[in-house]
Structure 1
């Protein structure tokens, strides 16, 4: 089916995407997914009303239209999580479009997303996290590559960095001090303490690295000297976790989850952990309280004399 959409509506869609790119600093993959979600919505309206969708029809969307859209997604077998994401994209588009065009978007913004069970982060134990770092270092026959991989994974666990943030470090960030200024999602800056073991891991890698690193160069390099591909870190952690007998959830991102969970277990303040992780909302960080509760209940059931 060919999507019939007016040039004005198409321009509005692209304007919204450009707005997200310029002002919110959203990742390209996120913008691509959001664009596809809004196009799916417009395609549904085109079929539902049997007419091309321009700005005027888009402004006339009703509550029954939104109910029909959600029913259409359910009939297509779309998961609750994906339905919620699609609705979020449509609402974001309508907030922007209604301000630009001056219409009332209540019918769209009041639509309720289906409830779904959020997946809890799956952290590694402290021993498993340490073993992962040690094992990652042994995967390559070249010493500098092993030191590189260990340094990256140490930054994920020791500083709670996202893999993109660790691989985004540049020569100007050297030598690593007691803290790092990190620019994360949405171009939000935060200060992250760098523990001594993480500094030493990076220093060891730099001593062995065969490439010069200028101020604008990324610190972590591939075998031929280009920027390190994150897939290589994913592959080396996958090999390490199979050697260690860890579950498939033992990924590079799990090291960041482990950082947060272990801090919380040691009595860390939730708000401080939010700042360290760079979460925009405290509700995102609060998932770790559930993880910690699960761990505490397991310890209780395993050790309390009356629990059995």
Structure 2
């Protein structure tokens, strides 16, 4: 076994099974790495006769992304968008060899992106895309190694304030929606406010989804179908809207695109919302008033279609009896009610 310096780096040239055994040659950037590899070869050959080192995976990251896309990504509703993002990430990281894709490499890439002004939440999403890709390739028996991102922690993101509209603000917004030229924006907003639907779910609503006092949402973020009851007045309004506009829209849709009209109407009001909560404020408003009016948190989870109760719990503090026990069971209140005497048992 020898380690020597060459123009390309340090070469470990070894025959761990003896002069007649298989020869292993590998180049490293430093002498230390070459020596460590040589020692590793010798140890494995001694402990396990007939041992063979794992072959390198010389595919590049972009090749793995193409395989993922062909074998799995095409079937996902957001597969094309994820595919595009993965390719951009691979190119930004220099399209490394598969066996050189490490958590450290991703962390370096992430640091550069954060320095360039990309948000921590965006980087968490990028990490989840890449990690999920390796997980799926492993399930398909295409990727043999460990997931290179499994030990990389996501950034902790502080919870954002979830703004919701008061009744006065709803009056103000609806008045502006009716003034606009878009014939659909006001009706879409009513659906969101009555059901907690996302804007895209309400905007793409079709006739078969509304019947018997229910709106059934199918193309949802969680990919699960959910049905939300509506009152007879809203159902009648929806049916009347369909009869009036179906000939110009087609495909049994109730509405055409109205997102821009909503933003324009919102801009004409004095309502100030946190960044990223434009149309989504309607969903927050539904959930917030549902809890304020005494709704059940588990029922709200089903209505909103949250896969995790933890996400729905963001609205729990709005319930009128939320943590009321704190008022009655805290030690100060007990101390006062006992005539300000200290319990000797404590």
Higher helix fraction (1 or 2): 1
- Structure 2 unmatched runs, 5+: 1-57, 323-346
Of 188, 196, 217, the residue aligned with 1:182 is: 217
| Corresponding residue number in structure 2 for 1:167 | 203
Asked if the contact 1:132–1:237 (Cα under 8 Å) also holds between the matched residues in 2, the reply is no
| Corresponding residue number in structure 1 for 2:304 | 277
Q: Helix, strand or coil: the match of 2:228? A: strand
What is the TM-score of this pair, normalised by structure 1?
Answer: 0.71
| Corresponding residue number in structure 2 for 1:286 | 313
How far 1:114 sits from its partner (Å)? Answer: 1.9
| Corresponding residue number in structure 1 for 2:48 | none
Rounded Cα–Cα distance in structure 1 between residues aligned with 2:221 and 2:59: 32
Asked if the contact 1:87–1:113 (Cα under 8 Å) also holds between the matched residues in 2, the reply is yes
Asked if the contact 1:171–1:213 (Cα under 8 Å) also holds between the matched residues in 2, the reply is no
Of 17, 33, 56, the residue aligned with 2:69 is: 17
Q: Helix, strand or coil: the match of 2:179? A: coil
- Structure 1 unmatched runs, 5+: 1-5, 47-51, 221-227, 297-308
Rounded Cα–Cα distance in structure 2 between residues aligned with 1:59 and 1:240: 53
* Map 1:115-264 → 2, pairs under 5 A: 115-140=156-181, 146=183, 148-174=184-210, 176-183=211-218, 184-209=220-245, 211=247, 216-220=251-255, 228-229=256-257, 233-248=258-273, 251-264=278-291
* Map 1:27-66 → 2, pairs under 5 A: 27=78, 31-32=80-81, 34-46=82-94, 53=96, 57-66=97-106
How far 1:44 sits from its partner (Å)? Answer: 5.0
Cα displacement string for residues 133-183 of structure 1 (whole angstroms, at most 9, x for unaligned residues): 34312323xxxx54x332211101011112221222223335x43112211
Asked if the contact 2:134–2:147 (Cα under 8 Å) also holds between the matched residues in 1, the reply is no
Rounded Cα–Cα distance in structure 1 between residues aligned with 2:143 and 2:260: 50
What is the TM-score of this pair, normalised by structure 2?
Answer: 0.64
Rounded Cα–Cα distance in structure 1 between residues aligned with 2:316 and 2:114: 32
Greater RCO between the two (CA within 8 Å, min separation 6)?
1
User: How many residue pairs end up in the alignment?
Assistant: 258
Higher strand fraction (1 or 2): 2
Computed over aligned residues only, the root mean square deviation of the Cα atoms, in angstroms, reads 3.1
How far 1:261 sits from its partner (Å)? Answer: 1.0
How far 1:192 sits from its partner (Å)? Answer: 1.1
